[in-house]
Amino acid sequence: MNFLKSKLSLEHKITTSSQVFTKSNNLTNSNNDKSRETEDLYSDKIRDGQWFWNTNTEQIFSQDQIVAVGHASAKSVVPLELLRYIYLQPHDRIYDPKTHTISYLQTRTYLPVKSLPPREKKRVLVTGGAGFVGSHLVDRLMLMGHEVIVIDNFFTGRKNNVGHWIGHPNFELIRHDVVDPFLIEVDQIYHLACPASPPHYQYNPIKTVKTSVMGTINMLGLAKRVKAQVYGDPEEHPQAETYWGNVNPIGPRACYDEGKRVAETLTYAYMNQDCVDVRVARIFNTFGPRMNANDGRVVSNFIMQALKGEDLTIYGDGLQTRSFQYVHDLVDGLILLMNADYKEPINLGNPDEYTIREFAELIISEVNSSSKIKTLPAPKDDPKKRRPDIRRAEQILGWKPRWPVKQGIGETVKYFQRQLEAGLI
């Protein structure tokens, strides 16, 4: 079966009043020219070709490589090649590394989206939709053919993450803080607004708590008024959904951890008292393109240090374990959960464990860096083990992670390399 057909154009020329810029499939980095040529074959398909795909197909793998993401049961299948075009290519800009200037192009061509009949087309609100996870969810919902409204205060989110959709008839971007009430008519709400990395949520802990508590109250109140479905994001090993948590209420993580616990309490209070249609996912460590380069997380820290030739910093002995899921797997799970009739919390994460040291060594190998590993004292309240029990997600949603960590790291490294080349980080 031909999963994806397109007309290829390997070179695209953009003419301005003063200069002709040539966009070629040959990249400046000569270390991986052969693989990069393959990656860039699709760089101009959107402008010069036609994309065809079947959202109901079950073809996800080809020769042990992932070629699509999503699930046929939720009609969310999208070609990986199309998503990679979105986050691996700088959009509508030309960066000059000599003068450190960026020229923005006026002509805009949007990616093709599914044409849904009115009865299937939903109006979906994504809070924090310009952030790391939110922007990937927005891409998928847009490509599926829905109308998407993003609200974000841009504390950690970036307009660049959704810039390729601005102006599209199905898309709206609104600068708004969920701490303040927001009125709109929608069918579904994905509530993702909250800083999730330690430097960000510890920068203003009071604001972090208010975002988790007041933001959740506002979104649940909106769902109650318009009768929309709402999804919310909230030491046992592995951690099952029945685990109630072991949180230090006065530690440096408390503003984030306790805020999420209260958000879950509020979610089920609205469900039980006001019959709000809710879903709760407990998201474990996630990585992928569009992570903030300076967010203090393990993956982004290690990749940026390796790309710059710096030593990789490990806190503690490096034997603490983490489970990392790729962002496309998480988006698959969120969409499946929203479309499932299930009210209890569900873990979304990858149960495969790696020590922090193993992860550092994997990234050094993937980047082909000369970096070494150095250790620093472990931070307070840093958990030794963190792994989800995903049996409920497998049984209820038919979901489990598909992306091998190594393949996901390769995608993420390419993203950061492109961002560096484009002068965006």
Catalytic residue numbers read 256
Cβ atoms of 256 and 293 closer than 8 Å: no
Cβ atoms of 173 and 162 closer than 8 Å: yes
Pairing of strands 229-232, 277-283: parallel
Q: Which two tokens stand for residue 68?
A: 């699509």
DSSP one-letter string for 317-338:
SS--EEE-EEHHHHHHHHHHHH
Instruction: Name the DSSP class of 419.
Output: H
Sign of the alpha-carbon torsion through 67, 70, 74, 76: negative
Residue 145's contacts (CB-CB under 8 Å, 6 or more residues apart) are: 113, 114, 115, 116, 120, 121, 170
Tell me how far apart the alpha carbons of residues 46 and 87 are, in angstroms, rounded to a whole number.
14
Cβ atoms of 118 and 183 closer than 8 Å: no
Cβ atoms of 347 and 240 closer than 8 Å: yes
**Tokens 């301005």, residue?**
16
Tell me how far apart the alpha carbons of residues 275 and 273 are, in angstroms, rounded to a whole number.
6
SS3 of 140, please?
A: helix
- Determine which helix (DSSP H) or strand (DSSP E) holds 299, and give its type and residue range: helix 298-307
DSSP one-letter string for 225-258:
HHT-EEEE----SSBPTT------TTSTTHHHHH
Which candidate, 268, 279, 281, 278, places its Cα nearest to that of 347? 281
Which candidate, 142, 47, 30, 49, places its Cα nearest to that of 89? 47
Cβ atoms of 66 and 60 closer than 8 Å: yes
Which candidate, 82, 87, 164, places its Cα nearest to that of 413? 87
